[in-house]
Structure 1
Amino acid sequence: MRDGSTVLVTGAAGFIGSNLVGALSEALPTARIVGLDREPNPGNYKRWLTVDLADKDEVRQTLATLEVDLVIHLAAQAYVPGSLERPEDYVRDNVLATSNLLVALQERIVIPPIILASSCEVYGDQLDQTDEAVDPAPKSPYAATKLAQEHLIEASAAAFDVRYVICRLFNNFGPGQQHNRLVPSAIRAALRNEPFQLCGDGTAVRDWIDVRDTCAAIAQIARLRCEGVPTRLNLGAECPLAVAEVLAEVEHTFQLRLCITRQDDMPGHLRTTIANSQLARDALGWLPTRHLRDYLNEVLELITSDHSRYLTPPAPGSPW
């Protein structure tokens, strides 16, 4: 990208967005990075816009006066159980918001390239490693809305000749993750000697990747402005672990036993998601370098130095 380019990051207050700014600053040291979210700035973006993408007029007014050379679209609700309880919220915040963003961008003389953070959930259950050629088969409203985001961007790109890359993200863990996700909730339960509620039998397999590795890949796509990059990329570490294995890693690292209570698995949960990320590795020269045990040891060191860290849920951008 040219010096002084402006990168707009939507959903910048979230888990991925709060980690991405550092990777972008390293990959694009001269770029102006602008965070956009309806939530407040977590503190790591120098430039910030408080905007609800579901408000069409607000989006159009904001983007009409903003120079943008690249858009990284992270904004979305991303929780399968929540989508089953409130599917209308996911249609609003994932589908309508994406449509509003694209309509506003289409009013520009030159439409900037777009990077979309999609999800492995669009694939549905797969028995083995999944590559980008597998036909989507969403099993939850969340997955369906992520696939709808993809289709909206593909249609816009076809109509207006826009460069784009769709990144299908796998199971991220790392600094600042929402406290109701598996890894941070297991850590807190272990440290506080509280019951840990396990949905299902613990045999569901996920491909686990550190959020900082995911952000490094997205930053590299941004540096290339999507040029020469395949339009769909899996971003996974090819590191499958069953849920029970993740819990065992937590117990091993912290030398504590989890008090596990079980409940029936929730509808819409996938049994197996394992990435084939060879396309991203080849196209980006990218290789995930962090493993779950590395992150757990990192958290252990932080908690050892400040034992109060586990008493409150992690905030976006916090160390765990």
Structure 2
Amino acid sequence: MQSILVTGGAGFIGSNFVRYMLNKYPDYRIIVLDALTYAGNRENLADLEKDPRYLFYHGSIGDEKVVDNLMSNVDAVVNFAAETHVDRSIHEAGAFIDTDIRGTFVLLEAAKKYGIERFLHISTDEVYGSIENGSFKETDPLMPNSPYSASKAGGDLLVRSYFKTYDLPVLITRSSNNYGPYQYPEKLIPLFVTNAIDDQPLPLYGDGKNVRDWIYVEDNCAGIDVVLHRGKIGEIYNIGAGNERENIYITHFILDYLGKPKSLIKPVKDRPGHDRRYSVDTSKIRALGWEPKWSLEEGLKHTIDWYVENETWWRHIKEKQEEYKRFYEKHYASKDE
């Protein structure tokens, strides 16, 4: 396995994965396919542009001709391409169905046609739904509670069906909440960090006690790498760091680290179907030899520092991108408690 197609490789996790793989495997070639929607950004991979092992193609996973052309030249596929933000799915569910389900179908058909060695589908712990106690195992039923998580669950089931029906060598990872450099500033941590830098309100949903397991993106990339190379074909692997914290804890940490007042916290009306707690059992991937290296506090410090030091990157999005402005106005501007 030396040539890998990474779909959605200009996004947050995808771009970090591409960089991780090229740093670790000098003989690998990475082909990135990305539609460059609002959250895809070629600047995320700017440092790789002159690397002969890296190739970028602008296009959608729903475009059968583009996918067919690229799939014929690779050994493996890692599919990050997806619409991913829960808030957006509540108002724009159709786009999630198109990308997360039909786009996955197009990729699977091409992978079947060309006899791809491994097809690794990147999913999310949100497909399990919310859990009050304990942790979800890979064998637990899927109970998605938002159009986003439902579309991802649909993609997961489609991938599984191609293994059962066509013997396609598939793998699935379901990770907990990622954070780190290059994350589009609509997600909680980059949104709150950049708002705090500008002394703008931090729009915190509900009582702020929703619990997430936070994993630094590099740890997730390492886990995906392990599954790609050592995972058992047809299996699903949860990836989480065991860093379960309430959103209010994350909010306070960001403000304290930046030396900003708690008065910046602005409670807003909770979103519909907001899952209370996510937690996944990671014993299966740990049996492959993987374990997270970053503590939550060190990862948060590193992430906050990155946004402080890369102000031009996020300020261009927040101040120049009309899509971001529309999103912020729709989801936060008029949601005071």
| Alignment check: 8 A CA contact 2:112 2:168 kept | no
1:302 shift after superposition:
5.0
In 2, Cα distance between the equivalents of 1:207 and 1:147? 19
2:86 aligns with: 80
| Alignment check: 8 A CA contact 2:203 2:265 kept | yes
Task: Give the SS at the match of 2:153.
Answer: helix
1:318 aligns with: none
| Alignment check: 8 A CA contact 2:171 2:228 kept | no
1:92 shift after superposition:
0.6
Change (3 A) 1:305 1:218: closer
| Alignment check: 8 A CA contact 1:7 1:33 kept | yes
| Alignment check: 8 A CA contact 1:208 1:240 kept | yes
Change (3 A) 1:255 1:230: farther
Q: TM-score, normalised by structure 2?
A: 0.84
In 1, Cα distance between the equivalents of 2:105 and 2:224? 22
In 1, Cα distance between the equivalents of 2:87 and 2:23? 35
| Alignment check: 8 A CA contact 1:174 1:210 kept | yes
Change (3 A) 1:12 1:310: closer
Matching residue within 270, 292, 315 for 2:275 = 270
1:48 shift after superposition:
1.3
| Alignment check: 8 A CA contact 1:80 1:140 kept | yes
2:117 aligns with: 112
AA aligned to 1:25 is: L
1:17 and 2:14 matched: yes
Matching residue within 277, 293, 296 for 2:297 = 293
1:48 aligns with: 56
1:243 shift after superposition:
0.3
What root-mean-square deviation, in Å, do the aligned CA atoms of Structure 1 and Structure 2 show?
2.1
In 1, Cα distance between the equivalents of 2:314 and 2:116? 44
In 1, Cα distance between the equivalents of 2:233 and 2:181? 28
Aligned length: 305
1:137 shift after superposition:
0.4
Identity %: 28
In 2, Cα distance between the equivalents of 1:138 and 1:83? 12
| Alignment check: 8 A CA contact 2:180 2:303 kept | no
2:332 aligns with: none
Q: TM-score, normalised by structure 1?
A: 0.88
Where does the alignment leave 5 or more consecutive residues of structure 2 unmatched?
319-337
Task: Give the SS at the match of 2:287.
Answer: helix
Matching residue within 245, 249, 255 for 2:259 = 255
AA aligned to 2:33 is: L
Change (3 A) 1:79 1:302: closer
Matches within 5 A, 1:162-181: 162-181=168-187
| Alignment check: 8 A CA contact 1:221 1:229 kept | no
In 2, Cα distance between the equivalents of 1:138 and 1:256? 36
Matching residue within 226, 236, 243 for 2:240 = 236
1:206 and 2:212 matched: yes
1:289 shift after superposition:
1.2
2:29 aligns with: 32
AA aligned to 1:78 is: T
2:223 aligns with: 217
Q: Which has the higher helix share?
A: 2
1:300 shift after superposition:
5.2
In 1, Cα distance between the equivalents of 2:307 and 2:151? 37
Change (3 A) 1:27 1:304: closer
1:170 shift after superposition:
0.7
| Alignment check: 8 A CA contact 1:27 1:220 kept | no
1:317 aligns with: none
Which structure is richer in relative contact order (CA contacts within 8 A, separation 6 or more)?
Answer: 1
1:185 shift after superposition:
1.2
In 2, Cα distance between the equivalents of 1:123 and 1:289? 25
2:152 aligns with: 146
Change (3 A) 1:152 1:306: closer
AA aligned to 1:35 is: V
Task: Give the SS at the match of 2:61.
Answer: coil
AA aligned to 1:295 is: G
2:76 aligns with: 70
